[in-house]
Amino acid sequence: MQPNPAWDYRNARRAITIRLVVGIWLILLTVILLSEGYWGWAILTGAGAVANFGLAWPAYRRIRRNQERHDVE
């Protein structure tokens, strides 16, 4: 699964922030659902959190690579 380049490439820092906030919210929701015994929904929200963190990582790496290129030049 590739991130949407039309938005993620132009707004990489904002995309990372949004994905991390949503991921943290989904982790909290997962903990609440697990404490209440809703295992099926908790697995679903946990998978969504992992997906958000996984999609934030390529954008972060892209920003770091661009910073390193500008520092070398």
Long-range contacts from 32-35, C-beta under 8 angstroms, 24+ separation: none
List, for residues 29-43, the tens digit of each pLDDT value. 999 999 999 999 999
- Name the average pLDDT for the chain: 84
pTM for the complete prediction?
Answer: 0.75
Please determine, for residue 12, whether its predicted confidence score (pLDDT) is greater than 70.
Answer: yes
